[in-house]
Amino acid sequence: MIDLKAFSFFNTLPSRELDKIKQISRFKKYASGTVILKEKEDVSDLIMVVEGQVSVIKTYGQKKSTLFTLDPGEIYGEVEILNGTKCLTTLIGYQEFQLIYIPKDFFLRLIGLYPGFAKETRDLYSRRGQILLEEGMSKSQLGKVVTFFNVKGGAGKSVISSNVAVMLAKYWQKKTVLLDMNLAFGDQAILLSLSQEKNIHLLTKAKQPLNIKRIEEQLTDHSSGLKVLLPPAVPELAELIKPEFVESIIEILKNHYDFIIIDTHNQLSDLELKVLENSDLIMLMMTMELTFIKNTKILLDLLGRLKIPKEKIKVVLNRAFKSMGLEPSKVEKSLRYAISHFIPSEGNIVVPSVNHGIPFVLSKGSDGSAILLSVRKLCARLTGEEIEKGTWNMFSLLKEVFGL
């Protein structure tokens, strides 16, 4: 039985309304690759994803672009319903997925009755409306800023962010830049075998105002085609880098790169907050340990209070192995968040790659491995281009890589 309380979108509603939603809504299961709604069709219900993942795709002339994907607990349709328009996008679900259809009139009634719910919906509307109602591609053509974050160390932020960045640059041929925002003790120079001659500190000394040419003069080239902005050569210079300066770097890079991948330090100071505010996606990295789960839950609550939109945050479970001693579905319930990605533990591939300074996505030793597969899937979701009918959600990936 589906527990609607597990979905934070309904947080502001009393239990009796959740019971009513269950009674009057339709629940439907679909096979992977099913188109649920097409552009210009009527939207008569608010849709919520219960299981699986749904891609939201918009056509611009001849080109299709995946605007975002919906994980369990995320809704679709509020912009069309509140705006009185036909469907603005096409929705396709992946893996076996399940949806709830909440009738439009019932949804509008809830908005009228519960100010907290109305606010939640209005906030989502104002963020999404900008993207969905836009005619041209201008906004969606800007580079995507993807930040790997957690306040607890050792989740794999650095290792996974560098491998994702290298893969996007080399195999997807995306113009990609990696920012190492662990300004005092960043690891990217080591992970990618780069010299720190060029770095963000030297950029502060460049002639202002900043422009793309000045930024690129301080980017270091990696053999994969990736460009990297490295931290200052010595830790004591880190505090000279101000959050507003980093924000202006991100703003400029967005106009010139497809992806800005950001590795961060384990804290939530003004710098991290600025980075998170300027991110399109926050990959909240965690491992399957109780301490991580506890901290991640506190962090998710805090990000909510700081008004970081929920749909930006994707929980990534790293270093997963066959017998984790904890059920992923229980973790999702306790976090009130779906786990979006899953990366297996493969010390025999990761450790040598770190020690040699060669990302594992480039090394022969990782060919055919589960960790390579999972990073490829993560990149496929980021680019939105390879919409394969294969496995998307983490449970199916668990099955696939462990043969469960």
Using CB under 6 A as the binding rule, whether residue 346 contacts ligand ATP is answered as: yes
All residues at 6 or more sequence positions from 49 whose CB lies less than 8 Å from its CB, including other chains:
70, 71, 72, 73, 74, 75, 76, 93, 97, 98, 99
Phi, psi of 116 (to 5 degrees): -65, -40
- The CB density around residue 11, as the number of other CB atoms within 10 Å, is 12
**E runs forming strands in 61-219:** 63-70, 75-76, 90-103, 144-149, 176-180
Using CB under 6 A as the binding rule, whether residue 373 contacts ligand ATP is answered as: no
Whose Cβ is closer to ligand ATP: residue 7's or residue 342's? 342
Cβ-based burial of 99 (10 A; exposed 0-12, middle 13-18, buried ≥19): buried
Using CB under 6 A as the binding rule, whether residue 377 contacts ligand ATP is answered as: no
Q: Give the pairing of strands 75-76 and 259-263.
A: unpaired
Residue ranges in 142-171 that form contacts with ligand ATP under rule CB under 6 A: 153-159
Whose Cβ is closer to Mg ion: residue 58's or residue 157's? 157
Using CB under 6 A as the binding rule, whether residue 266 contacts ligand ATP is answered as: yes
Can you give the C-alpha Rg of the chain in angstroms? 21
Whose Cβ is closer to Mg ion: residue 37's or residue 192's? 192
Q: Mask 129-158, x = binds Mg ion (CB under 5 A)?
A: ----------------------------xx
Return d(Cα 37, Cα 333) in angstroms, integer.
28
Using CB under 6 A as the binding rule, whether residue 347 contacts ligand ATP is answered as: yes
Stretch of 87-95, 164-172, 197-205, 338-346 contacting ligand ATP, by CB under 6 A: 338-346
- Binding residue (CB under 6 A) for ligand ATP from 275, 350, 370, 378: 350
**8 A C-beta contact, residue 87 and residue 42:** yes
Whose Cβ is closer to ligand ATP: residue 55's or residue 199's? 199
Pick one of ligand ATP, Mg ion, none as the site partner of residue 350 (Cβ within 5 to 8 A by kind): ligand ATP
Residue ranges in 180-209 that form contacts with Mg ion under rule CB under 5 A: 187
Return d(Cα 222, Cα 370) in angstroms, integer.
25
Considering Cα of 393, then 394, then 399, then 404, what sign does the dihedral take? Answer: negative
Whose Cβ is closer to ligand ATP: residue 36's or residue 350's? 350
Using CB under 6 A as the binding rule, whether residue 354 contacts ligand ATP is answered as: yes
Q: Mask 157-176, x = binds Mg ion (CB under 5 A)?
A: xx------------------
Number of residues that bind ligand ATP (CB under 6 A): 20
Place of tokens 């849709």: 47
- Binding residue (CB under 6 A) for ligand ATP from 69, 121, 278, 318: 318
Pick one of ligand ATP, Mg ion, none as the site partner of residue 153 (Cβ within 5 to 8 A by kind): ligand ATP
At 392 the three-state DSSP class reads: coil
Q: What angle do CA 277, 141, 254 make, to 5 degrees?
A: 45
Using CB under 6 A as the binding rule, whether residue 187 contacts ligand ATP is answered as: yes
List of residues contacting ligand ATP (CB under 6 A): 153-159, 182, 187, 266, 318-319, 343, 345-347, 350-351, 354, 371
